[in-house]
Structure 1
């Protein structure tokens, strides 16, 4: 079961990157609990600081303003002790964010395919980038544009649409254990 993992020590922060709907927040929470380290969702931190939702920030101030706040929050989160950070889908696109993540830890790309992503996001109205006449086509375009950038992440975890959160979290842990500079097994 999931508690069978030998103790491990997180040496550097792990930043989960990938498309909206790839599971960054759900996997991040479970991963942090399993490793007994803090979890932070960068979008939630931005919303808290602004006292607005991401959608409200996009509507009021635009995407460029949001991306500036996102970079600031990410740098602040990475300055602290090792933790698990889940990012918004666009955070990894900025080179400055990729550099900051690589300096503080490792980016882990949760690589979900387009049908899985669509199944997960199509019923949600909290995705400002999908507020278009054809959200599925918009998602496909975003996916095609971003996948090559996500491929620059230090580690990649393919997402099995049928795997549970615990199973996927274990896959992430197994992947992290290939990098003892990030996650050091205590056994």
Structure 2
């Protein structure tokens, strides 16, 4: 039954529906999302950027003032608004799947693609990024490993498709996704 629902969701997404990208920070959701949106002729959104635009401050500032719980409330509000749209590709924040409500919003609102990478690959991609509040710790790799252990099952639970992002260019990863989805035209995403 789950496969039938996934196929229906894919057909809806291919018509005028939505693709939602989930995964840990550094998995490539924003970069791949932009490329996927271009290739599928859909509008691209990043939920973290929407939260920042709505508040007028960067996410680390939200964490400093309101804590993670305050940020997560704002994230849910943004996801609810974005998932109600049609014809979008959405890159979600890495922790969006923590909330059962968010998982329901994503699952009901579009076709969910989990961009999966190992904690070591994620660390290599994020180690110099100071805009990741959850990685501002003495051992960011250990933190990523911990987050992976907690969130990987949640990403799998909500995902309609799981794609390994290890050691692939954005273009080849997007082409892989389009091929899996049997997307009719394969516009390339030039960087």
Same fold, TM exceeding 0.5?
A: yes
Q: Give the equivalent residue in structure 2 for 1:131.
A: 136
Aligned to 1:133, what secondary structure does the other structure show? coil
More helix by share: 2
Is 1:54 matched up with 2:94? no
CA contact (8 A) 1:10 1:35 kept: no
Is 1:19 matched up with 2:24? yes
CA–CA distance in structure 1, aligned partners of residues 33 and 15 of structure 2: 14
**Greater CA deviation, 41-50 or 89-98?**
89-98
C-alpha deviation, 1:11, in angstroms: 3.3
Q: TM-score, normalised by structure 2?
A: 0.85
CA–CA distance in structure 2, aligned partners of residues 29 and 84 of structure 1: 8
**Greater CA deviation, 68-77 or 8-17?**
8-17
Is 1:91 matched up with 2:96? yes
C-alpha deviation, 1:134, in angstroms: 1.4
> How many positions carry a matched residue from both structures?
172
Q: Structure 1, residues 125-174: CA drift from partner, whole Å, max 9, x if none?
A: 1100011121111111111111111111121111131x211000111222
1:160 to 153, 156, 166: 166
Q: Which runs of 5+ in 1 are unaligned?
A: 1-7, 178-182
Cα separation, partners in 2 of 1:30 and 1:11, compared to 1, 3 Å: same
Q: Give the equivalent residue in structure 2 for 1:44.
A: 49
CA contact (8 A) 2:46 2:91 kept: yes
C-alpha deviation, 1:9, in angstroms: 4.2
Q: Structure 1, residues 80-124: CA drift from partner, whole Å, max 9, x if none?
A: 112100011000221111111111112110011122111100111
User: What RMSD, in angstroms, separates the aligned Cα atoms of the two structures?
Assistant: 1.5
